[in-house]
Structure 1
């Protein structure tokens, strides 16, 4: 996984799957060896479709486009992790870079991160951002909002500068979602200090819920707990880089990076603990030793686990009509395994299948957006934005 101008190698020892339970290892050692052999013998390409979707390039020569949101049919506001925000005109493929972006810690995994329009954007004009705000020798994940005023972002407001200090420039998160009931959610990673994800006195490793103006909703789960921060909605997360509120099912979906293996898709529920680092289905880098346990009472199990890791980024449920075969399915970008990942959801919202596309392009898929035209847009770390206009039938 790339961090700034450096590259950290993924040690892929996750082909050896975790055994069903630590207390049953001896009983199931033969099954574990057989499972490992079968996994090693099955190429990842078997998960991919025989055909790839049709891609149209709508922009190139960009940096790392972390977030995208449509202003209208032709204009797309986007963030560059290096600290720039711009508006892309799809008809001309030209970008206007915006003034008014504050100082951003664009180091390691930090920078200018997500961007989303307020549900009442047509009336209020608010555009929401997350970014790593410089603090001391590092930075902290921050939720902000501003208004577009020509080629400038004006009225910039930091709504929450999180308590997520760390000496490490990793695991900032961060994605934004709205429930269209007056609330904004955003994610914060554990900042590379695992124990903080179980400590409710800081924001590391959490999903946060606020009113649109940044105030704390009265019905947040920990408002009456003197030992917890009032704005926390859920905790026990490692590095959540995808968040999606599905208005059709009223579900908040999240995806997060595991360590070596153990990336998770979760349905986020009020006040729940998602386990990290006490519960994980990943392993330690290099050594391959287990982290925590597979399951623990009082902690929520993921809906889906990726082993080996795909290194997920962004999350979207496609609700458009143009790509009928994909309607209602869950999508994420893959950074380590460089593909577009599709999770087929059943009528009961359970995972029925997984498919992988575009791995032949060898580009890290960073962000996703559904356009007003009903097509799916994706940005890669190669500095390109693509539009998917046709997809293979199942």
Structure 2
């Protein structure tokens, strides 16, 4: 009896796993933790801890299946309004030695709100040396479409997604940082070999333009290329491969329509603007994405996993030669808005659900599928 009580005290939030079937694997889903306030992103530390951002502005620690009561100290001031708050978190590729992380978040001054990124040193539940390294300008008074997803490339440059802030014309304005992907160094400088720009007034951190609201970003495990997905309006959610200097077309071309039901554009193609690798109509409201390259699910290796807020599921995409050849819905019976999907160091898939009582879910093979 004492042993059972001890197990409960150590792992009080882990629920019994339910088993599901898919085309290529049977899998189990267990709740590792709950009680998070609209969790947005997570990253895994070398010591086994998981850091999880809450949109309300706290950075939480998950340790041995327990969500610690005390949040990480030293988090920068965050503007929490509408879709804004504490957003993405990434470890620097050399975190083991430099202890650096980056955070994206909504930031506010008298001039309005915007997307900001800061770097910091993380150690023992505290952030120090917090330094902003990117602030999208100009600010505005909207509280929508901050984007904020980030990823590092093999050269340790940081890609930052900035949404159109709900003002779609900004995505085609090169004098405006909104509606694109920016690539910088950890010093906050434009990354080497960014696309050349002729206008000295344009921010040379720009890497791509014409992006509406990127909510998923990941690095391909083989090619090293950055992939994203972004919210469309009513329809037109897109999966894109991020290529230097590319215009992805928003709002000049789109496969969606306005929330009013009226057209945004009469064009889905235009010379000089990229087509998505894949799009959804109606919109699934995608959020979070990861490629799977582990051994626990051998028949999922190379597949792309995308969370969905509106349709409350995880979508598995099989891709060959930059084309989607198979699509499958997972977790659609759980009735949870999916905010983030990541492959963990245990080669399981980890998922965050978006609610005031957000959960951490872990997807592992059913016992018969274990290698």
- Structure 2 length as normaliser, TM-score? 0.89
Alignment correspondent of 2:30: 56
In 1: Cα distance, 2:106 partner to 2:26 partner: 35
| Structure 1, gaps ≥5 residues long | 1-47
In the alignment, which of 325, 343, 362 is matched to residue 317 of structure 2?
343
In the alignment, which of 202, 205, 208 is matched to residue 231 of structure 1?
205
Alignment correspondent of 2:19: none
Matches within 5 A, 1:373-388: 373-382=346-355, 383-388=358-363
In the alignment, which of 336, 339, 343 is matched to residue 366 of structure 1?
339
- 1:351 Cα deviation from its structure 2 partner: 0.9
Query: How many residues get paired?
Result: 345
User: Against the structure 1 CA distance between its residues 349 and 96, is the aligned structure 2 distance closer, same or farther, given a 3 Å change threshold?
Assistant: farther
Alignment correspondent of 1:279: 253
Alignment correspondent of 1:209: 183
- 1:134 Cα deviation from its structure 2 partner: 1.1
| Structure 2, gaps ≥5 residues long | 1-21
Task: Check whether the contact 1:260–1:285 (CA below 8 A) recurs between aligned residues.
Answer: yes
- Structure 1 length as normaliser, TM-score? 0.84
Alignment correspondent of 1:270: 244
In 2: Cα distance, 1:238 partner to 1:49 partner: 33
Task: Check whether the contact 1:105–1:138 (CA below 8 A) recurs between aligned residues.
Answer: no
In 1: Cα distance, 2:142 partner to 2:29 partner: 37
Alignment correspondent of 1:357: 330
User: Against the structure 1 CA distance between its residues 91 and 259, is the aligned structure 2 distance closer, same or farther, given a 3 Å change threshold?
Assistant: closer
Matches within 5 A, 1:286-365: 286-346=260-320, 348-365=321-338
Task: Check whether the contact 1:173–1:240 (CA below 8 A) recurs between aligned residues.
Answer: yes
Helix, strand or coil at the partner of 1:165:
coil
User: Against the structure 1 CA distance between its residues 290 and 223, is the aligned structure 2 distance closer, same or farther, given a 3 Å change threshold?
Assistant: closer
- 1:237 Cα deviation from its structure 2 partner: 0.5
In 2: Cα distance, 1:362 partner to 1:199 partner: 39
Task: Check whether the contact 2:53–2:59 (CA below 8 A) recurs between aligned residues.
Answer: yes
Helix, strand or coil at the partner of 2:171:
helix
